[in-house]
């Protein structure tokens, strides 16, 4: 039996209430992360092996040598499903993960990692993550035959950094392989009407997205906006607007029509998300995993790709998509639906899945699609599980949404929210979680980490200056001058 530690916010069977999901960041700031994490889990969860979620603690703070020793002792393999992790705002977490991997002696496999850059796909945009990317990939390849990347752009970036092409496997995003090689998606209706049930997903920071979303909502009364990130969840739960979005047309504040009409949802589990999207005729927008969730639910979807990460994935999986870096002209959902040709996606699925399965096998990972594997333990546990319903806005017609918030607040402790009766228990608390679970504690930890990095930089510069003084003519003259000054001052 192998014991596998897997990078996942939680396992696919544990129900965590939305308030706790936000407070403890169980979904790593975005519910889309569960799609690829739990798809990998389903693939690898075969008897007699045991999978344990690391709750992404390995990247939240630097691991000690004791943490690494415990992982080496208790596990046989570390599996790391990833997303667009080669990006500047993930660099600190990638650094923490790198430091841990460098101390591991067990096989370590990275599945589906990608680089994020503007739609022009320039490597210049990745300059800030070049060094940490090199360290991370080098550490992984010392412990596995290859690294699985999202698409051609990411592979080219790693080859550009000097890694051998045959050690970089393009496998796409594992989320799309949840149902295996035979999954197909077909149209449910010939054409869309004004009253068609529609799902919209969007990235609030994209230029012009507010006018687009508001116009779509006005023209289609049965359209529902499905949010994904922590700002969306905070808005739905507590009415707190997004901190960095100023366009009032974007549905990121409680006065937006979509909020007031209770036409916004967020799902803290993939399974209820799929159920909801299965009831829609069409899903569209800028979120990759928002559209993948629809395809996995059997609903046609079209992605409006606005950067390199979404574009390379859409191209690799041959998903219906179009390049849309700006929203500066009206868009007709009826035209998008007509343009959503699912034939290339369906035809590509078996071959893309075959590559994915070959990657798992190359890296010594047994999976449910191999002949003779027993995967009933996953199916049984999932069938027995129950999950929270969709999160609605505070403007929902009945008072159930407000009542659930008040119940959670009644049990909450100001000192330590992680002691809440509905808290999420980390199955493998390594590195040990520290902090009060409050915004103040998180800001304090971030400040301390920043000061530590600054002090390390100061120490490094001081050491370099000292070496220069020891080895250069100017340094020699400076030392002589200091000695003379000390003698003259006596």
Least-confidence region, from 113-122, 375-384, 453-462: 113-122
For residue 449 the two structure tokens come to 């980490």
Neighbouring C-beta atoms of residue 439, cutoff 10 Å? 10
Q: Which residue has the higher pLDDT, 241 or 473?
A: 241
The DSSP line for 358-387 is: HHHHHTT---TTSTT---HHHHHHHHH---
Distance, in Å, from the CA atom of 84 to the CA atom of 157, rounded to the nearest integer, reads 13
Considering only CA atoms, give the Rg of the chain. Answer: 25
pLDDT reported for residue 126: 86
Average pLDDT for residues 91-97, to the nearest whole number? 95
Kindly list the distances between the CA atom of residue 211 and the CA atoms of 138, 206, 231, 256, 336, in Å, as whole numbers in the listed order. 44, 11, 20, 12, 17
- pTM for this prediction: 0.86
Confidence of residue 437 (pLDDT cuts 50, 70, 90): low
pLDDT reported for residue 415: 47
Tens digits of per-residue pLDDT, 322-357? 999 889 899 999 999 999 999 999 999 999 999 999
Q: Does residue 421 carry a pLDDT above 80?
A: no
Angle at 262 (CA atoms; ends 260, 268), nearest 5 degrees: 130
Distance, in Å, from the CA atom of 462 to the CA atom of 192, rounded to the nearest integer, reads 67
Average pLDDT for residues 287-305, to the nearest whole number? 98
Tens digits of per-residue pLDDT, 352-406? 999 999 999 999 999 999 999 999 999 999 999 999 999 999 999 888 888 888 8
Of 292, 337, 344, 288, residue with least CA distance to 188: 337
Give the mean pLDDT of the chain: 91
- Residue by residue, what is the 3-state secondary structure of 147-177? EEECCHHHHHHHHHCCCCHHHEEECCCHHHH
pLDDT reported for residue 441: 59
Distance, in Å, from the CA atom of 374 to the CA atom of 390, rounded to the nearest integer, reads 32
3-state DSSP helix/strand/coil percent for the chain, to nearest 5? 45, 10, 40
Confidence of residue 221 (pLDDT cuts 50, 70, 90): very high
Tens digits of per-residue pLDDT, 250-292? 999 999 999 999 999 999 999 999 999 999 999 999 999 999 9
Q: What percent of the chain has pLDDT over 70?
A: 93
Exposed e or buried b per residue across 243-255, where buried means at least 16 C-beta atoms within 10 angstroms of its C-beta: eebebebbbbbbe
pLDDT reported for residue 490: 63
Residues recorded for the chain: 490
Q: Would you call the peptide bond into 123 cis, given omega within 30 degrees of 0 as the criterion?
A: no
Of 38, 470, 439, 450, residue with least CA distance to 240: 439
pLDDT reported for residue 436: 47
């Amino acid at each position: 039996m192998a014991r596998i530690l897997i990078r996942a916010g939680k396992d696919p069977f544990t129900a965590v209430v939305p308030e706790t999901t936000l407070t403890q960041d169980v979904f790593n700031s975005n519910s889309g992360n569960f799609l690829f994490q739990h798809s990998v889990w389903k693939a690898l969860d075969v008897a007699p092996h045991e999978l344990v979620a690391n709750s992404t603690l390995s990247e939240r703070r630097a691991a000690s040598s004791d943490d690494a020793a415990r992982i080496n002792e208790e596990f046989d393999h570390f599996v790391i499903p990833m997303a667009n992790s080669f990006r500047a705002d993930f660099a600190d977490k990638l650094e923490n993960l790198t430091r841990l991997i460098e101390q591991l002696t067990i096989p370590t496999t990275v599945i589906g990692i990608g680089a994020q850059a503007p739609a022009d796909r320039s490597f210049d945009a990745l300059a800030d993550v070049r060094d940490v990317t090199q360290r991370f990939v080098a550490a992984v390849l010392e412990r596995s035959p290859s690294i699985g990347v999202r698409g051609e752009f990411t592979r080219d970036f790693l080859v550009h950094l000097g890694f051998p092409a045959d050690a970089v496997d393009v496998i796409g995003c594992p989320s799309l392989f949840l149902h295996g090689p035979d999954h197909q998606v077909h149209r449910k209706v010939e054409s869309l009407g004004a009253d068609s049930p529609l799902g919209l997903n969007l990235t609030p920071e994209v230029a012009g997205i507010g006018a687009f979303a508001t116009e779509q909502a006005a023209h289609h009364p049965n359209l529902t906006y499905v949010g994904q990130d922590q700002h969306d969840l905070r808005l739905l739960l507590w009415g707190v607007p997004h901190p960095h979005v100023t366009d009032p047309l974007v549905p990121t504040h409680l006065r937006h029509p979509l909020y007031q009409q209770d036409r916004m949802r967020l799902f803290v589990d993939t399974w209820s998300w799929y159920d909801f999207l299965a009831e829609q005729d069409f899903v569209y927008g800028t979120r990759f995993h928002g559209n993948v969730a629809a395809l996995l639910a059997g609903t046609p979807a079209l992605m409006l790709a606005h950067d390199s990460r979404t574009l390379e994935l859409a191209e690799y999986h041959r998903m219906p998509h179009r390049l849309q870096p700006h929203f500066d002209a009206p868009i007709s959902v009826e035209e998008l639906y007509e343009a959503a040709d699912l034939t290339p996606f369906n035809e590509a699925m078996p071959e893309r899945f075959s590559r994915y399965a070959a990657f798992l096998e190359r890296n010594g990972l047994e999976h449910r699609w191999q002949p003779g594997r027993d995967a009933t333990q996953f199916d049984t546990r999932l069938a027995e599980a129950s999950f929270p319903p969709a999160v609605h806005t505070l403007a929902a017609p009945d008072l159930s949404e407000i009542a659930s918030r008040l119940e959670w607040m009644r049990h909450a402790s100001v000192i330590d929210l992680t002691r809440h009766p509905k808290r999420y228990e980390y199955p493998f608390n390594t590195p040990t979680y520290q902090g009060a679970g409050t915004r103040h504690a998180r800001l304090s930890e971030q400040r301390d980490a920043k000061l530590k990095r600054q002090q390390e930089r100061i120490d490094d510069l001081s050491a370099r200056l000292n070496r220069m003084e020891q080895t250069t003519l100017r340094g020699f003259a400076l030392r002589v001058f200091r000695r003379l000054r000390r003698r003259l001052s006596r």
